[in-house]
Structure 1
Amino acid sequence: MKDVNDRSYWSAPNGAHRRVMYKGSGFSDKDIKTKFHVGIANAFMEGSPGAAHLRTITESIKQGVWEAGGMPVEFGIPCTCGNVSNGAEELKYELVGRDIVSMSIEFVANVHHFDALILVASCDNIIAGTYLAAARLDLPTLVVTGGPMMPGVYKGKKVLAPDVDVAILSGDDKDLSDMEECVCPSFGACSVMGTANTMQILGECLNLVLPGTGTIPAADLIKLRSARDAGRYIVDLINKGLTPSKLITKETLLNTIMVDMAIGGSTNAVLHILAIARDLDINITLDDFDRLSEEIKCICGVRPSGPYNVVDLHNVGGVPAVMKMIENKLHKDVPTLLGNSWNDILENTIVESSDVLRTLDNPLHKEAGLKVLKGNLAPKGAIIRPSGVYEEMKHFRGVAKVYSNDFEALEAIQSGKIVPGDVIVIRYEGCKGAPGMKEVMLSTDALVAYGLEQSVGLVTDARFSGFNYGAIVGHVCPEAYDGGPIALVEDGDMIVVDVNNGVVEIELTDEELEERHNRWVRPEPKVKKGVLAVYASTCRTADEGGAMQTW
């Protein structure tokens, strides 16, 4: 770690050209030479409610940095909204975007020799990218989240952004048009337990987001006050020399996994936790998720695991309340951003059981919010969200119908080719095959819209949105492009998924699978140039986080 009190880089005579650039940007000589330089990475983007308010939040952060005697230097980082690409081929860019965001922060932070970072983000893989950058750079770092969106009201009922996905397929244009006006009533991330809110919540467990602030709604002015607090507090982190490598231990990551299980978090969190662990050289594998899923059941009633939204969760205590409910399982002696332990914080946390958040001995679901499946169809593992699976589909056996992308599967559902008892298999959409590990949302939404979510399964080497629910198995590894067994499935094969016992299998013998593999030919890459091609050639497999980490 560099000596932040050594200002020679900025004050020595050969630093004149650096000082000139900063002075030309409005900073004074005293600022440049004597104050800590705090890079403020802002994922502002006008085209998404999850990011369109981040300028205001960033201004509050900068005020706090100035108050504490630091010098804030704002810069922009890429930001997209997954909903904009929902239903389009470009959705495959989303996971790749995580790595682009982390590399963008790495690039600017290293060139400008920042002493610390505050990273401002809300959505999906953008906020995950800020966490990955924090782990890689190991500077004193805080992440300030944009917070969840308020729920909308339509026909007297609360509605959230995912309700539009099903309405699109209903065929009622008037209903759809009216609903569009209601589902995004404020800034913030879509208020379900999708990837955005899952990662905002887990940021507190990771010691990157100040405790109690990850779920503050975007519309609540406390969000601005907490942003200013973060700006002030980053100077304390610098003086204390607290960096992610000191604050994120193996036990911290295990706590994070347990909270993800308890909240019924997005399956995408698995990829992000594994990637963060790799950058910190911490040994976390799918086996850790599998083991902890036996101990931690889903206690949170936020959609899709229940009828509530993330604002409801915030109102019953947010992340500290979740951790309080499972505190007997947590490693409470690990450090926090505040310089104390989680034991100190939870000792003073009071929460009452409700249908929004239950106790661990009275969970909302008998299973964890996430489960690892293995078997001859996924020797290295696959992921399912048990809290979103109907009871009658916890064990199902069905006839395989095989497709090479989400669009083909959607057409099959709409045309009536998919019937109860089928198992849709979507392959060549994994990290390398897509490339980019696309979210297959069209077919999963169609199953709900056509009333098939309680009678049809879906297995894929792709991933899902945190919005999705049903008997859907993703992250199948090895993926089809690597010659995994999912590449060998044929129409008419029988597939078995047993959620409770963690099994996903195809009813073929080892000899039959080997014979098919001998005949298998890897297809041509779907993309041969550009960032997707670079990603495909450098990414880890899904069971290792799927990041561009060749080390």
Structure 2
Amino acid sequence: MADTPEIRDTLLNRRSRTLVAGNDRAAARAMFKAIGMSDEDLAKPLIAVANTWTEVGPCNFHLRRLAAKVKEGIKRAGGTPLEFNTISISDGITMGTDGMKASLISREMIADSIELVTRANYFDGIIALSSCDKTIPGTIMALIRLDIPGLMLYGGTIMPGKFPGEYPLANKDGTTDIDKDINIVHVFEAIGAAASGTITTEQLKAIEDVACPGPGACAGQFTANTMSTIAAMMGISPMGMNDVPAVAAEKEDVAMQAGAMVLKLIENDMRPSKIITRQALENAIASAAATGGSTNAVLHTLAFAREAGIPLTIDDIETISKRTPIIADMTPTGKYNALDVYQAGGIRLLAQRMLEGDYLHGGTITVTGKTLAQEAANATETPGQKVILPLDQPIKPSGGLVVLKGNLAPRGAVVKLKGDEPQYHKGPARIFNREEDAMAAVQSQQIKKGDVVVIRYEGPVGGPGMREMLSVTAAIVGQGLGQDVMLLTDGRFSGGTRGLMIGHCAPEAMVGGPIGLLEEGDLIEVDIEKRTLNVLISDEELEKRRATWQAPKPNYTSGVLAKYARLARQADDGAVSNVWLEGD
């Protein structure tokens, strides 16, 4: 009869020994042996491979293949990988439907599910694979929460589509492009153009057919690529690895390297709490601001701070963005896609530029064991590249993320600006209590120049889930009204949104926020320079309306959406649903 194997404490397997070492853990070992594991496998560090693979959409479609390479890297470095999967919701697919209410909530579920599986199985380290809007912050929130050695590997950007011949929609200057690089946002804007008769249904179909040529996250500096940039700048992703496009041959090589890196992290006891510091979070915000990144970065960075127990406010984000120039010419506010950033020199080059201007903290540590400044020193710039600009030639002298406050948003609202948007707008409120009603009004051309489209009861609690309004904003832009119509919502926006579109209005309508007190025709004024957002009525009138206001019935009374609505915090607190028992 064979002796019970001894699983020695090697420091690298200290956590997993609790699960598999000793006579009293024989049943656990038996279960592992049922799936082909040996005593030797169980004696090695057990590494979680937390995957977000799905067939529902292109962003994460290739992650099963990448996970195989990650596991190969773990094995080569002396670990035993164990893969599990969690959920993923495609924003692009669910946009404009009730399904979008699940998107932000999925961030919470992803973090919770990874936490549960990892805590249950005493993994010694973890690598999370993510590639779309909510899987990136969800996995990072889990890593922070667990605080065991680990990292996040981004699946990479999709390649841009190529529209053959003359593109049917003209540029702002009236010119048209030949063989234009396009992405999913062009499809959303083409929907609005087709509704207004600017293009035909056949032309819309032609754009649809070529916009997304394969797997990977949406091509511009939309939410996924913004969060990928943030992950590298914070140090929770290895510098240079996230840049590699999804279909590039090099992606499999970096996946193996990332897998092996987890063993080094365990050896050095390099945990997220040593990486995600106040300075690292400031680097995250600055990188989003410098690239004209998604407003979702505000929500997610606030959520990271909450998980890490680090004080960070929406006002801090405004301060950091205001002092940081936009130096990356990226869609949707600029010309280039994430592929172009990779070819220009990558996020290392961006970090190098920003450090030259003292816009980043170079001393923060990264998962590679090097500081951010050391990583940036290895940047190689492609001669003639036009994506990442010199500091003396910024697209805009201050960052793209702007926080507004006033009697409509006492706790703040967020807008993303490139600099060519109107800096002042005053117009009548057009009130809609759900996104679909606003979309119908835009499609039927009921929205006119000067209007302020207000979409409310779409906040974290009201939606619930704080839907993105890309369908509406893109339709407005597609009808040629992007410079003349303002949109205000307690919901949020896709990273692909452009124009004077103000979201994250806090407090939201469902909890009695002033946006819920607006009436049709009220004059709304926004002044970007003054950072103000107000309705032009007296305080007395606002209080009179507040006295008679009643919250509508919740849209959901059971299930996960109802649970989130009960727990959700406001947008200026990251719209998180976690519960902190101390110092809450």
Q: For this structure pair, what is the TM-score category when the shorter chain's length is used for normalisation?
A: over 0.9
1:219 maps to which of 247, 251, 257: 247
**In structure 1, what is the Cα distance between the partners aligned to 2:386 and 2:456?**
38
Q: CA deviation at 1:120?
A: 0.7
Moved more, 330-339 or 98-107: 330-339
Structure 2 residue 385 is matched with structure 1 residue 362: no
Q: For residues 6-46 of structure 1, give each alpha carbon's deviation from its aligned partner in whole angstroms, at most 9, with x where no partner exists.
A: 335412101111101111011101111x2000010111111
User: What corresponds to 2:175 in structure 1?
Assistant: none
**In structure 2, what is the Cα distance between the partners aligned to 1:9 and 1:161?**
46
2:185 maps to which of 162, 165, 169: 162
Q: CA deviation at 1:350?
A: 4.4
**In structure 1, what is the Cα distance between the partners aligned to 2:137 and 2:206?**
33
Structure 2 residue 431 is matched with structure 1 residue 422: no
User: What corresponds to 2:535 in structure 1?
Assistant: 506
Q: CA deviation at 1:81?
A: 1.2
Correspondence 1:102-181 to 2 at 5 A: 102-155=111-164, 156-171=179-194, 172-181=200-209
> 1:149–1:187: 8 Å Cα contact kept in structure 2?
yes
Q: Percent identity?
A: 38
**In structure 1, what is the Cα distance between the partners aligned to 2:312 and 2:363?**
19
**In structure 1, what is the Cα distance between the partners aligned to 2:325 and 2:469?**
26
Structure 2 residue 43 is matched with structure 1 residue 20: no
User: What corresponds to 1:30 in structure 2?
Assistant: 40
Q: For residues 407-443 of structure 1, give each alpha carbon's deviation from its aligned partner in whole angstroms, at most 9, with x where no partner exists.
A: 1111222223211111111110000000011112222
**What amino acid is the match of 1:11?**
A
User: What corresponds to 2:479 in structure 1?
Assistant: 450
> 2:192–2:477: 8 Å Cα contact kept in structure 1?
no
| Counterpart secondary structure, 1:333 | coil
Structure 2 residue 493 is matched with structure 1 residue 464: yes
**In structure 1, what is the Cα distance between the partners aligned to 2:567 and 2:245?**
37
| Counterpart secondary structure, 2:502 | strand
Q: CA deviation at 1:336?
A: 1.6
**In structure 1, what is the Cα distance between the partners aligned to 2:550 and 2:11?**
54
> 2:192–2:443: 8 Å Cα contact kept in structure 1?
no
**Misfit runs of 4+, over 4 Å:** 2-5
Correspondence 1:51-450 to 2 at 5 A: 51-155=60-164, 156-171=179-194, 172-327=200-355, 328-351=358-381, 354-387=385-418, 390-391=420-421, 393-450=422-479
| Counterpart secondary structure, 1:521 | coil
| Counterpart secondary structure, 2:193 | coil
Q: For residues 366-399 of structure 1, give each alpha carbon's deviation from its aligned partner in whole angstroms, at most 9, with x where no partner exists.
A: 4311111111110100000011x634x2211111
Q: CA deviation at 1:128?
A: 1.3
Correspondence 1:507-526 to 2 at 5 A: 507-526=536-555
**In structure 1, what is the Cα distance between the partners aligned to 2:156 and 2:78?**
27
| Counterpart secondary structure, 1:363 | coil
Q: CA deviation at 1:538?
A: 0.8
CA RMSD of aligned residues (A): 1.5
| Counterpart secondary structure, 1:40 | strand
**In structure 2, what is the Cα distance between the partners aligned to 1:361 and 1:522?**
51
Q: For residues 467-488 of structure 1, give each alpha carbon's deviation from its aligned partner in whole angstroms, at most 9, with x where no partner exists.
A: 1111100000000011111011
Q: What is the TM-score of this pair, normalised by structure 2?
A: 0.91
Please, which runs of 5 or more residues in structure 1 have no aligned partner? none
**In structure 2, what is the Cα distance between the partners aligned to 1:412 and 1:48?**
29
Q: CA deviation at 1:345?
A: 2.0
**In structure 2, what is the Cα distance between the partners aligned to 1:5 and 1:412?**
60
> 1:264–1:305: 8 Å Cα contact kept in structure 2?
yes
Aligned residues: 547
